[in-house]
Structure 1
Amino acid sequence: MVALARKTLVHEWRRFLPAILAVGFAGLLQLLQAALVLGIFGSASVYVTGSAADLWVGYPGTQSVNLGRPIDPNIEARLLMDPAVAAVEPFLWLDADWRGGGGTGGESVYVSGIDASPTGMMFAHALSPALRARLEEPDAVIVDRADIGKLGVAVGGTAAINGHTVRVVGVSSGLRALGGVNVVSSLATARALDTDPTDTGRPTYLVARLSDPTQADAVAQRLRGDGAFGPYEVWTARAFARRSVLYWMLDTGAGAGVLFLAGIVFLVGAVITSQTLVAAVAGSVREYATLNALGVGVGALRWVVLEQAFWVGALGLLGATLLGTLLLVLARGQDVPVVLNLPATLACVVLALGLAGVSGLAAVRSLRHADPASLLR
């Protein structure tokens, strides 16, 4: 029966081609949607994933990196007292207003004040040592290459942040933010841009490197809850990145819209594919009736239809994978935030095969007309 399913697909490929295209198109949409969701919402944690810190220390209850509040700088002493902590550095995060040239008007930007030394942990994966060295210049800033156009400035040009003149000394990739534009500066420049007199240059976060990164969970647990140094909370880098992404996906309502769209894609694909398979089975009803008259049971014929649905799903997935890979490469070349990991890919594969399976079950109902008596009409 398996051979019959494959031979039928080869011989009647024109009948099954629309179903293959429907599954492939639905799988492609789900794949690209997953990549965009992971890329867009993943940019909320770019501060964490682009850095080399093992621990993050911030205000208690902080749900996302961009929602941090200033903490007492003396907490650094508490961190350094732990023998597992190898280094600590402050991170200053500001919500600021950018005024560039070229008639672009104002732009909301997020200023990240970091330790610009070669051994600095913040944005260690996104900034080369040469770019970090340029941040040591007074009022120097770096932006993502995909954002420099809308900021109305070129490398070497000047702009104003909170009324303070800054100069763009370079561009990098992997700095794009969710809901704004990331601007990286040294700690000294960021403090000069801070217009809130109540902060007095206090860090938004403290980040720490451990002698043994595998002990991050244990060290974070040990450092929590020391009220003598003021209110603070400690997260591992992985936990804080996940916390930030989940906040934007679930608590802001954006994730609900994405799930709704995914459901619509699955429903439309299921309807189109099932109708195509039903038509293909109905077109071969006399052949199935002949097999039934020769002694092939209805149960075996059902398996033939389900196997056909499986091959339709597999062929559609193959096409979706090839085209999806090409589109993802093209998107990354255009600085579109797309990220795809193994769990998301497997989820798309399961959904596409599930789509083919649901369509196959719908097509099985057409076998009720495969009655040997119909051959006498």
Structure 2
Amino acid sequence: MIALARKTLVYEWRRFVPSVFAVGFAGVLLVMQAALVLGIFSTASIYVNATSADLWVGYPGTQSVNYGRAIGPDVEMRLRMDDGISAVEPYIWLDGDWRANGPDAETMGGVSVYLSGISTAADAMMFDRVLASWQRQLLREPGAVIIDRADLSSLASREGDVAWINNHKVRIAAAIDGLRGLGGVNVIASLSTVREIASVPEGQGNTYLVARTRPGADARQVQQRLNSAARSFGPHETWTAKAFAHRSQMYWMFNTGAGAGVLFMAIVVCLVGAVVTSQSLRTVVAGSSREYAVLNALGVSRSALGRVVVEQAFWIGAAGMVLAILASVALLALARVYRVPVALNVQAMLACAVLIAVLALFSGLGAIRGLLRADPAALLR
């Protein structure tokens, strides 16, 4: 009976094509939704993921990078005293108001930006995964800033233009890729430029401190050691880079309206895919109702017929999965061309594949359930 399932698929392939496309459509919806969710919320931790630091130190209880508060200047001394740390670097994060200096400045108004003050040293850790050494050197010029190329239109500016942040004059020294953030435009400047814009004296403290551990040192052990130490240096908390990035993503995903909306759309997409696939497979099985009735009347058990339908659903799901992979690769490539925030990891891809397989299996079982309970004599009328 299992051979019958494959032969039916081969010789009557036209009848099964809509089901394959239905499964493929559901798979594309799942993959693209997962890529959008991961891509959108990964931008919440772009500051961490674009930095090679192993540890982040900030104010206790900070839920996301963009909610940082200043920590005392003595905390840096505490980090430098630890034997497991090889380098420490300050990082200032603050909100800003961008005003363009072009003809559209009056009609456009101000744009909310996230201003990052980083070290301009050649071996600096902050944003070293997206900034080239020559781009970091450009920030040594007073008032120089770097933004994402995709945000130029949002700021009504071009590379080399002059603008104003919090009524301080700045110049776009370079535009790069990989800085797009969640909820605002990321602007990178030197520590001295940001302190001037924020009117913060150099010895007043920083929003964060990032640190690199020595070769062979365990970042987790160093983190635990720093967190268990006396707080005589001022209130602070240490996180590993991976944990802090995950913390920021989870906050935006589950504790904000934006996260709730995206997750709700993901659930809707799953339901739509399930309904489309189920109805398509029901139509295929209903079209073969007389053939199944004849086999049942000839003595073929209903369990054997059920196995035929299940195998058909398996092969339809496999073909639909291949179709979904090809379509998703094309759509993801197109999304990257237009700088749409998309991202996929192995876990997400495996989860989508399992969901597609389960969707096809249960849709096949649901499609055959009513048919196998029917009277063969009634199906042959």
TM-score (norm 2): 0.94
What displacement does 1:371 show? 4.9
Q: How does 1:49-128 map to 2 (within 5 A)?
A: 49-100=49-100, 101-103=102-104, 104-128=108-132
What displacement does 1:161 show? 0.5
Q: For the residues of structure 2 that align with 1:120 and 1:196, how far apart are their CA atoms? A: 21
Q: For the residues of structure 1 that align with 2:281 and 2:330, how far apart are their CA atoms? A: 28
Q: In structure 1, what is the equivalent of residue 210 of structure 2?
A: 207
Counterpart contact for 1:278–1:366, Cα < 8 Å: no
Q: How does 1:304-343 map to 2 (within 5 A)?
A: 304-343=308-347
Q: In structure 1, what is the equivalent of residue 146 of structure 2?
A: 142
Counterpart contact for 1:73–1:202, Cα < 8 Å: yes
Counterpart contact for 1:54–1:213, Cα < 8 Å: no
Identity fraction in percent: 58
Q: For the residues of structure 1 that align with 2:86 and 2:235, how far apart are their CA atoms? A: 22
Counterpart contact for 2:290–2:379, Cα < 8 Å: yes
- Does residue 303 of structure 2 align to residue 275 of structure 1? no
Q: Which runs of 5+ in 2 are unaligned?
A: none
- Secondary structure of the structure 2 residue equivalent to 1:60: coil
What displacement does 1:74 show? 1.4
- Secondary structure of the structure 1 residue equivalent to 2:22: helix
Counterpart contact for 1:38–1:340, Cα < 8 Å: yes
Q: Which runs of 5+ in 1 are unaligned?
A: none
Counterpart contact for 1:285–1:369, Cα < 8 Å: no
What displacement does 1:28 show? 0.5
Q: For the residues of structure 2 that align with 1:214 and 1:156, how far apart are their CA atoms? A: 43
1:29 partner amino acid: L
> 1:166-200: per-residue Cα shift (whole Å, max 9, x none)?
01110111111110000000000010110478x97
1:40 partner amino acid: I
**CA 1:102–1:320 in 2, change beyond 3 Å: closer, same or farther?**
farther
Q: CA RMSD in A?
A: 1.8
Counterpart contact for 1:317–1:352, Cα < 8 Å: yes
Q: For the residues of structure 2 that align with 1:210 and 1:375, how far apart are their CA atoms? A: 73
Counterpart contact for 2:73–2:203, Cα < 8 Å: no
Q: In structure 2, what is the equivalent of residue 164 of structure 1?
A: 168
What displacement does 1:13 show? 2.2
Q: Aligned residues, how many?
A: 376
What displacement does 1:17 show? 1.9
- Secondary structure of the structure 2 residue equivalent to 1:362: helix
> 1:314-335: per-residue Cα shift (whole Å, max 9, x none)?
1111111101101101111111
Q: In structure 1, what is the equivalent of residue 14 of structure 2?
A: 14
- Secondary structure of the structure 2 residue equivalent to 1:166: strand
Q: For the residues of structure 2 that align with 1:27 and 1:376, how far apart are their CA atoms? A: 36
- Secondary structure of the structure 2 residue equivalent to 1:146: helix
Q: For the residues of structure 2 that align with 1:263 and 1:248, how far apart are their CA atoms? A: 17
TM-score (norm 1): 0.95
1:241 partner amino acid: A
